[in-house]
Amino acid sequence: MKTIAVLNQKGGVGKTTTTINLADVLAKQGKQVLVVDLDPQGNLSKVISGGEVRFDPNVMDLFAKDNKADVRAMIRSAYDSENFFYIPTDIRLSRVIEAGLTLSFREVRLTNHLNKLKDDFDYILLDCPPNLSLTTTNAIVAADLFLMPVNSGVFALDGLEDLLDALNEVSQDQSLNYYVFRNEVAAQNKVINGAIEEDLLQIAEGRILKTSIRRSEHIGQASFMSMPLSKYKKGSTAINDYKSLAKEIIGLFK
Ligand SMILES: Nc1ncnc2c1ncn2[C@@H]1O[C@H](COP(=O)(O)OP(=O)(O)O)[C@@H](O)[C@H]1O
Ligand SMILES: [Mg+2]
């Protein structure tokens, strides 16, 4: 079982979209894949379920005071797949997080639950909220690899140094396995692309994936239609980006 946290405390950079499409590609390659929605906004859950906004049980139960939740009971099939699964969440998670300060073993809750699934999945992807709250710190403790999408706007790299500091603080792992990759790249924006790449080299010290995900209207439309890209538009060239991403990530574990 390899656990990958997709994180960045900025919203709208592509965490959820990447999580869904990367998981979809890995599952199509025959891997057993589970995605966990750790964002109380529940965007990932809404997309995969086709519009549902309330789920019982859900991730919030993993953070219940009595710590008796059954993680297996939360797993649902994504798109009726036999090897792509998800654990949903909904807005009620935010209240649970606020009450979380008094929880016992609060930072290792997720790790302990996911360890029960280690023989069932090849990859577990954690879709984090746009902040460094309790679910993000749980994801940092649980993950073997950290993937940080950055988008292509003027403020793309704001907060990245802070995020790396937070990773170092929480994980206590000397050989922190993190990689940044660019999302929503438009080839025609040569000046911005050059500037972002230059800054990234400094901030992320070379820990930048070769793969970037292009800006594609199909990607946005697919989420809007509650589908992974491969289902929404089979022939979309952007699928190749997610395939490259999957290949590069699999290579990182070798
Ligand atoms: N490569 C891309 N091309 C076009 N639109 C994208 C791309 N990646 C993400 N988006 C769109 O950007 C918005 C934010 O993406 P999302 O994955 O929800 O970000 P986050 O989870 O980081 O908040 C969504 O509407 C999504 O469809
Ligand atoms: Mg999201």
Range of the domain at 199: 2-248
Is residue 165 assigned to a domain? yes
The DSSP H or E segment spanning 126 is: strand 123-127
CATH code (residue 217): 3.40.50.300
Query: Which atom of ligand 1 lies at the shortest distance from residue 241's CA?
Result: 1
Q: At what angle do helices 160-171 and 134-142 cross, to 10 degrees?
A: 60
Decide: helix, strand or coil at residue 200: helix
Tally of structural domains, the chain = 1
Q: Is the residue at 253 inside a domain?
A: no
Residue 254 placed within a domain:
no
What tokens does 235 get? 């022939």
- Centroid of ligand 2 to alpha carbon of 130 (angstroms): 7
Which one of 15, 17, 19, 150 would you pick to mutate in the ligand 1 pocket, going by the greatest count of ligand atoms within 8 A of its CB? 17
CB atoms within 10 A of CB 169: 11
Q: Which two tokens stand for residue 70?
A: 């059954």
Look at residue 99 in the predicted model and tell me its pLDDT: 87
Give Cβ neighbours of residue 54 (< 8 Å, ≥ 6 apart): 90
Please report, in tens digits, the pLDDT of each residue of the chain (254 residues total). Answer: 999 999 999 999 999 999 999 999 999 999 999 999 999 999 999 999 999 999 999 999 999 988 899 999 999 999 999 999 999 999 999 999 988 878 888 999 999 999 999 999 999 999 999 999 999 999 999 999 999 999 988 788 888 888 998 888 888 777 789 999 999 999 888 888 888 888 888 888 889 999 999 999 999 999 999 999 999 999 999 999 999 999 999 999 98
